[in-house]
Amino acid sequence: MREIIFDTETTGFDPKTGDRLVEIGCVELIDRRETGVTFHAYFNPERDMPAAAEAVHGLSIQFLSDKPLFGARVDELLEFLGDAPLIAHNAAFDFGFVNAELARAGRPALDMTRMCCTVQMARKLHPGAKHSLDALCTRYGIDRSHRVKHGALLDAELLAHLYIEMTGGRQIGLGLAASATVTVAAGSDPVRIATPARPFREPRPHTASPAELARHSEFVAALTQPLWHDSP
């Protein structure tokens, strides 16, 4: 099964008030394993960069001024996304910005039923705990020492590791049962990820043979002053 983990960086919090998407990073998973295939792009937002936003991701308007507009790479992005489920941290935020840019480019919005939010997953798994990407990476032992500032591709790669751990870790591929199914909420519909069924194997005998029982009896009979003969 193909899934896409993605993250965005923006000029602010709300595309409805003029904030724009400036970076997107996507990581491909197949059967919950990273394939090494990614999509990454910077975009010229055609506006200024607020200091507060630049402090988070480090992307200045000078750096972005020669980058392509979103519409110039929209087809490449949509081809990469395909029809796969889309996983993001605080996914409604990322979907909102991507869909706003798609609308500007005259393209249909992403179907919200494709959305899987790892913040919502974390709230169910760890109620009352911190659910930031940093906090969850610490909880699951994921190294984030190289994360100095936010970056869409870097954060998507961290989130891919986190998502795998939150949905069963690497053990899901070990075949601990004849078959297993992991259910992950994606929008209003579940995404079911089934591991391949293992071939049936006859159980190995674990009972002692008559010869082994006879040798054990001989050994016990030869013991002198066994503890179980002591008085309580």
Catalytic residues: 150
Indicate the SS3 state at residue 179: coil
Amino acid making up residue 163: Y
Long-range contacts of 69-76 (CB under 8 A, 24+ apart): 69/43, 69/44, 70/21, 70/43, 70/101, 70/104, 70/105, 71/104, 71/105, 73/41, 73/43, 74/101, 74/102, 74/105, 74/107, 76/39, 76/41
Q: What are phi and psi of 191, to 5 degrees?
A: -105, 120
Question: Distance of CA 129 to CAs 24, 40, 135, Å?
Answer: 28, 31, 9
